[in-house]
Structure 1
């Protein structure tokens, strides 16, 4: 029993450095809100651009620590892989050179499939194919001290373009919290919420999209209600960049009604499946400005990720 408890403690600290994080969480949230309010006060009146890329004091030059990544990848293989009986399938599909990994999002605040995917790629292909991860502002504010050395960067277009132009690989979750906080009953659905920025990014930079789908990762907790109506009422998309406010059943807290609650994940079996790269026929600034073409590219990516998820889900039910 002691050994089991120790293993769970190690798991929790691997994915959530909570004891230290808890002490600073309140101050960090306050700083984040202050930064967002300052951004809104100084941003344009246009709601399409307000509060997005201007006046973001926490943004910095992307940097990562190869040694920290290697250590984290080792911990993931020792702890998360057996805990989740995890498999990562299709690494041979990853092309050389710059590419955009596009994946479904799971587990609200806990994204174990991200760690499993990145660790498997690092083990098989090395740092060059290990992704930079476009990360929500709130995650960087609360956990940036730990996540930035592992390759977490602000989820904005300019940062992604700079990394892809440099020849790196970038991981994006187009659905964001709409996908990550979807109801448990929708766990086999890919919800990109009509967002097309990932397709525009790939088209603009002329890089292939590598589709990635994680099955089982949304079973680490139970989302009873996505809280979309609550988020609209509180206008959290504007001041927190959050479109969902989920009601979550998780360990050890039980029921919580907050958007960012670290929790101990249930030992759900997780399968991450990587598909062949998607190459778009047109690319460059002119193609990226064609909204109709970009929408078709985004739909193609969504359907491919959904097909990968369907395959893994059907295997799990056998």
Structure 2
């Protein structure tokens, strides 16, 4: 109930006014049955505007930190993500990959749409980064199609570090479903998983028009080990 209230009453009208979102390729979304929606990830608002324009409910795998906060803000955040039907996963433990796979397969097994960001995190600079293979493992294990989704304009509306959104034009561009049934029986093969992932990322590059970078986005957000600390003019430069 809360999902639809957020979409049509509590948040939807405000988001429409801010982003004037339009959807392209809506005919590629299945009217029923499970599928994986693999999207580029430019901003937090991606997780709002994709469900806003998709006619069916979408479930995302959300990091467990959203559900474990303390204080008034933490309790509200936990309630919001729980009410919206998002599924918490622990991305830090030794079994993180297996837990995420199991959670995703449960969503797909119930015949639902599963939203995934193959890059694993938001793009730090607007470019498209190398995809992680978790999405491919889910697709191969479940046999469901992967639908590429390009979110365009959300980085302008909700830049990294911004507190409040700013008006922008949002486009949700849906690509044709990709059928990976030719790889039936090859789940667990890391070369096949990489091939599946790279094919999806290539489609995302075509849909979004982003420049592709063949490194993981997370590697740019982590300080290099034993990196020297510079100060003064050198650091400023």
The normalised TM-score by structure 1 is: 0.56
Q: Deviations over 1:247-291 (max 9, x none)?
A: x3x2xxxxxxxxxxxx2112222111111111013355x411111
135-144 or 299-308, larger mean C-alpha shift? 135-144
1:105 corresponds to: 41
Q: Does 1:282 align with 2:182?
A: yes
Q: Deviations over 1:280-318 (max 9, x none)?
A: 13355x41111111111100100111111119xxxxxxx
What SS does structure 2 have at the residue aligned with 1:277? coil
2:128 corresponds to: 190
Question: Residues of 2 paired with 1:119 and 1:194: CA distance?
Answer: 25
Query: Is the 2:46–2:154 Cα contact (8 Å) retained in structure 1?
Result: yes
Residues 177-256 of structure 1 mapped to structure 2, 5 A cutoff: 177=121, 180-183=122-125, 187=126, 189-191=127-129, 193-223=130-160, 248=161, 250=162
Gaps of 5+ in 1: 1-66, 224-247, 251-262, 312-318
Closer/same/farther in 2, CA of residues 130 and 222 from structure 1, 3 Å limit: closer
2:47 corresponds to: 114
2:195 corresponds to: 296
1:228 corresponds to: none
Question: Residues of 2 paired with 1:77 and 1:270: CA distance?
Answer: 14
1:152 corresponds to: 86
* Post-superposition offset of 1:77: 3.2
Gaps of 5+ in 2: 70-76, 90-99, 211-237
The normalised TM-score by structure 2 is: 0.74
Number of positions where the alignment pairs a residue of Structure 1 with one of Structure 2: 191
What SS does structure 1 have at the residue aligned with 2:128? coil
Question: Residues of 2 paired with 1:268 and 1:140: CA distance?
Answer: 30
* Post-superposition offset of 1:84: 1.2
Q: Per chain length, whose mean CA-contact separation is higher, i.e. which structure has more relative contact order (CA < 8 Å, sep 6+)?
A: 2
**Structure (1 or 2) with the greater helix fraction:** 1
Question: Residues of 2 paired with 1:209 and 1:148: CA distance?
Answer: 25
Question: Residues of 1 paired with 2:201 and 2:123: CA distance?
Answer: 17
